Chain A
Amino acid sequence: MSIDILGTGSYLPEKIMTNADFEKFLDTSDEWITTRTGIKQRHIADGMTNCEMSVIAANRALAEAGLTINDIGTIIAASVTNEMDVPSIASQVQRAMGASCAAFDVNAACTGFMYALKAAVGFVLQDNKPVLVIGTEVLSRFMDWTDRSTCILFADGTGAAVVGPGDSLKYLEVYAHPDTGHSLEIPGINNGLNEGVSKFSYVSMNGKEIYKFATRQVPLDVQKAMDALNLKPEDIDWIVPHQANVRILEIASKRLGIPLEKFYMNIADVGNTSAASVPIVMDEMNKKGLFKAGDTVVITAFGGGLTSACAVLTWK
């Protein structure tokens, strides 16, 4: 027993920031950003909250699944950008949608949706009820807009999936590797560590260390999954990757011997939306009709923690 994906949904806020917009206030260029990241534009929440975006994405996923929020047993939201410490985003969504099911959040940075999916498998199987899994971020609130190495990368958006009892998911492993170098952090607002100092908290990242980690880890995780299921590169129809950097995926493609065309990318339009990245990509591919019944789909993600994960499912 495992799970099926019953429906997917996503929401990208209307406001768009292009690379050219950054040229106006930062020493950077469209050419620099494009060649080093693959990003051309990103969506900015501009006042919308994670909860508001999640409700829209959730309703879209529920509609595809042919379910209502009352059919859901548990809501799990993955995020690093909840506007409040309490309640969780999942609880805010539950309240906004008038539901009475269980609700909680997961923080595993950009791998968060995969951890949430792993938790969802347990809830689905124990309760025999569908679970609403959300990945949502408003990272624009945590950007240092003077730091050209980070603020061009991260963006806002929400993806959701409704999962229920089934047999599509063949493999899902999640990992954590100590971030000894403090390579990717959001230190937290008023965390009490600096008495009397009230400082807003920004994403800080050692890009080179994360790049090293990702270019090693993605091929390792995917190869491990392929070995476990006895899959060859030609058996894989799609790789659904966390959208962090086109160059990381080019290297993964080369190392794994899986053609780059199988790595679906929307990073040019969406940027890095952390925990929302994987479900946004999945929904985009699903809505475009790219998944055919029986397709072998590999999902890979990595991020702060340092965390990583890989899943394999047979599309229905």
Chain B
Amino acid sequence: MVYEKICEIIAEKMDIDASDILMESTFESLKIDSLDMVEIVMDIEEEFDISIEEAENLKTVADLVNFIEENK
């Protein structure tokens, strides 16, 4: 559920197909730069009502899913 929502947010923001976003995808491989990441984190914070302080430590989609699962 968290994973699907993240894929949806990233797909919309980066204008890519959600099915191309895998658990092991790195943000770098998805061409997500630091400013894209700020926006994606903002959308995710709103969606899951959490606060992500150290977004730069998150490198992959799985990192993000795990962070949300642990903190929501």
Q: Which residues between 202 and 220 of chain A lie within 8 Å of chain B, taking CB atoms?
A: 208, 211-212, 215-216
Q: State whether A35 touches B39 (Cβ < 8 A).
A: no
Q: How large is the interface on B (under 10, 10 to 19, 20 to 34, 35 or more residues)?
A: under 10
Q: Would you give the shortest CB distance from B58 to chain A, in whole angstroms?
A: 14
**Chain A: interface residue count, which band?**
under 10
Q: Is the CB of B34 within 8 A of A215?
A: no
Of residues 188 through 212 on chain A, the ones whose CB sits less than 8 Å from some CB of chain B are 208, 211-212
Determine if B33 and A36 form an interchain contact, defined as CB atoms under 8 angstroms apart.
yes
Pair A251/B39 contact, Cβ less than 8 Å: yes
Residues of B within 8 Å of A251, CB to CB, are: 39
B20-48 vs A, CB cutoff 8 Å, 1 = contact: the mask equals 00000000000001110011001000000
In the complex formed, the residue of B with least CB distance to A210 is B38
A247 interfacial contact with B, CB 8 Å: yes
Chain A nearest CB: distance from B16 CB in Å? 16
**Measured CA separation A36–B38 after assembly (Å):** 12
Residue of A nearest to B35 (CB): A247
Q: Is the CB of B39 within 8 A of A215?
A: yes
CA distance A216 to B46 in the complex (A): 12
Q: Which residue of B lies closest to A245 (CB)?
A: B35
Chain A hits for B38, CB < 8 A: 208, 211-212, 215
Q: Which residues of A contact B35 (CB under 8 A)?
A: 36, 211, 247
Rounded to whole angstroms, the CA-CA distance of A237 and B34 in the bound complex is 32
- Bound together, the chains give a CA A65 to CA B33 distance in angstroms of 46
Whose C-beta in chain B lies nearest to the C-beta of A36?
A: B35
CB contacts (< 8 Å) of B42 on chain A: these are 212, 215-216
Residue of B with least CB distance to A211 = B38
Residues of B within 8 A of A247 (CB): 35
Q: Which residues of B contact A215 (CB under 8 A)?
A: 38-39, 42
User: In the bound complex, what is the Cα–Cα distance between A160 and B10 (angstroms)?
Assistant: 42
Most buried by A among B33, B34, B38: B38
Q: Interface on B for A, CB 8 Å cutoff?
A: 33-35, 38-39, 42
If A35-B33, A36-B34 are given as contacts, then 9 extra A-B residue pairs at C-beta distance below 8 Å, sorted by A number, are: A36-B33, A36-B35, A208-B38, A211-B35, A212-B38, A212-B42, A215-B39, A247-B35, A251-B39
